[in-house]
Amino acid sequence: MLVAGAFSSSAQNTTNFTPDPFVSQVTSSARDSFAGDMTANGRFVVIESSGDIATEKVATFNASGTPNPNARNNEDGNREIFLYDYAQRRSFQLTNTKSVLNPSPSPSVSPSPSPSPSPSPSPSVSPSPTVSPTPTPFPTPTPVDNSSVAIEISNNRPVISLEPQLVAGRRTYTIVFSSNAPVSPANFDGSDPNAPGASTLATDGNQEVWTYQFTVPDTADLSSGAEVPFQDLSTGTFRRITDTKASIPPMPGSSTRSPVVADDNRDATISDDGKIVAFVSTRNLVPIGPGNADGNPEIFLVNVSNPTLTFIQVTFTTDHLTNGFLTNPIFNENPSLSGNGSVLAFVSNANLAGANDDGGGVGNAEIYVGNFNGTAVSGLRQVTKTKDGVPNPSPTVSPSPNATPAPTPIPDTTSTANIFSRGRRLSRDGNFIAFESLANDPKGNTTNGNFYVGFVYDVSHDSFAQLGPRALANPGDVLHVPTFTDYDVALKPGSVVFTSALNFL
């Protein structure tokens, strides 16, 4: 991991930060855990995990082996949302869901051959068990295997408001994420056929956008080491933001395939104060006007602080068809918001501003930025102008020196030129965008290098700065996933943090 300079000498001179001289492991599990976001003060981290990682939990079975009526854990191993509190040094499980499982198959009964001449009796076949699965054996429940899952319930991609308003010494944080739990992801047991909402999952089990809010006293300084009083952070409030019909019904898992649900509403992000949410949806959330009747991924905005939710559709795009066949699917993905929600950036292969057309009506993935005043988006403009692909490779097989004519290498036109990863790629002041590109000039629409390198775009000056050198030979470099840090009081970043496998310092 590397930190690239300051954006100005003044920012560099005012930065006076000494990292803590230790590294601490937050989670410990045989299953995957992913940190989704962290608050501006560094206190809270939101985590997506299929592990049973909460420090505050109630086991499925108590010490005597009898079921706990209020079990709260992730022993079944589906994806849940967790909140780590650095001040309390505790992890809380926020969502508590279980997938719908296939009923256990009936054992095959082979009747024993009857001795002659007595007629064989009809074999007795055990009836199939009910939908409710057999409880996981006590005392060590194991995660559910994919082949047992009829409808997967999961909670995904959490992002937290970085710095909500301080009111009477308290802050109310908002986490936005996606889930396909019906009614509420606070508690849903898919093993119970009578669970609220279970009856509709077979046809409408898609991912929806949700928020979770909790309020805590503000902690300005943790350096003294004083203990923070215990507060259960799993008792906050869930709110469903989208409520849509699924594009496809859920598909069960098998020994060779993971279960599938429609990821229709996804990749949500949120402003610092927790009011403005941007996300991607394939559903028709604004049926008045052009809407999204064709169901391709579009960018939407919504003010979740309002009692009544009003969705604002940012992009209006349609897939390209040739003779009735889909030849160029159009996408709009990975929205990122500035701190106050007034600037929006995302990636799209649509021709949204008149400069992303190869001449045949087809464009590649380019980065766009626009302004948002709370009711409408304006000034949408294209940041990058590039071509997909890498330079012509050498022939895979060395040709004969006498070959006539010499074979022409086949150019690679498929590698996407720009990578605008999900996450916070737009600075909090809305003036800088971090991304990766093959392009030698991200606005020149000319040549590309063989490997990706990071860039920072200055919105106000319409200029680019490259983050370190580009790899020149195989195996190349890792993805850089750049983001901003070292913010001053005006929310101007002082540094960029990114990853690299190159030794250039």
Could you tell me if residue 373 is inside a domain?
A: no
pLDDT at site 47: 97
Could you write out the three-class secondary structure of 240-255? ECCCCCCCCCCECCCC
Q: In terms of Cα–Cα distance, which of 387, 371, 390 is closest to 379?
A: 371
Distance CA 274, CA 173 (A): 7
Do 490 and 458 have their domain in common?
Answer: yes
pLDDT at site 220: 67
Token pair recorded at residue 133:
């699965």
Cα angle vertex 141, ends 155, 192, to 5°? 60
Could you tell me which residues are beta bridge partners of residue 54? Answer: none
Could you tell me if residue 120 is inside a domain?
A: no
Contact 126, 82 (CB under 8 A): no
Domain that holds residue 79: 32-104+134-268
Do 187 and 303 have their domain in common?
Answer: no
End-of-domain residue from the set 224, 245, 268 = 268
Do 322 and 190 have their domain in common?
Answer: no
Distance CA 169, CA 280 (A): 34
| Upstream peptide bond of 405 is cis (omega within 30 degrees of 0) | yes
Do 250 and 293 have their domain in common?
Answer: no
Token pair recorded at residue 371:
């302004």
End-of-domain residue from the set 239, 268, 297 = 268
Distance CA 52, CA 182 (A): 22
Do 12 and 47 have their domain in common?
Answer: no
Could you tell me if residue 114 is inside a domain?
A: no
**Can you list the positions of beta strands (E) in 106-253?**
149-151, 155-160, 166-167, 170-179, 188-189, 208-217, 237-240
Could you tell me if residue 5 is inside a domain?
A: yes
Do 172 and 56 have their domain in common?
Answer: yes
pLDDT at site 426: 98
pLDDT at site 221: 72
Do 333 and 213 have their domain in common?
Answer: no
Distance CA 446, CA 411 (A): 15
Do 179 and 57 have their domain in common?
Answer: yes
Q: In terms of Cα–Cα distance, which of 192, 168, 205 is closest to 69?
A: 192
Domain total for the chain?
Answer: 2
Distance CA 459, CA 369 (A): 9
Could you tell me if residue 363 is inside a domain?
A: no
Could you tell me if residue 383 is inside a domain?
A: no
Could you write out the three-class secondary structure of 2-53? EEECCCCHHHHHHCCCCCCCCCCCCCCCCCCEEEEEECCCCCEEEEEECCCC
Neighbour tally for 166: CB within 10 Å: 11
Distance CA 251, CA 106 (A): 22
Reduced to 3 states (helix: H, G, I; strand: E, B; else coil), residue 459 is coil
- pLDDT in single tens digits along all 505 residues of the chain: 454 554 543 344 445 556 556 778 888 888 999 999 999 999 999 999 999 999 999 888 888 888 888 888 999 999 999 999 999 999 999 999 999 998 855 555 555 555 555 444 444 444 444 444 444 444 445 688 888 999 999 999 999 999 999 999 999 999 999 999 999 999 999 989 999 999 999 999 999 999 999 999 998 677 777 788 999 999 999 999 999 999 999 999 999 999 999 999 999 999 999 999 999 999 999 988 889 999 999 999 999 999 999 999 999 999 888 888 888 899 999 999 999 999 999 999 999 999 998 777 779 999 999 999 999 999 999 999 999 988 866 555 555 656 666 666 566 777 899 999 999 999 999 999 999 999 999 999 999 999 999 999 999 999 999 999 999 999 999 999 999 999 999 999 999 999 999 998 7
Could you tell me if residue 198 is inside a domain?
A: yes
Do 214 and 333 have their domain in common?
Answer: no
Contact 486, 11 (CB under 8 A): yes
Do 73 and 187 have their domain in common?
Answer: yes
Contact 131, 149 (CB under 8 A): no
Contact 234, 94 (CB under 8 A): yes
End-of-domain residue from the set 268, 292, 322 = 268
Strand 208-217 and strand 265-270: pairing? unpaired
Could you tell me if residue 304 is inside a domain?
A: yes
Do 262 and 297 have their domain in common?
Answer: no
Do 439 and 505 have their domain in common?
Answer: yes
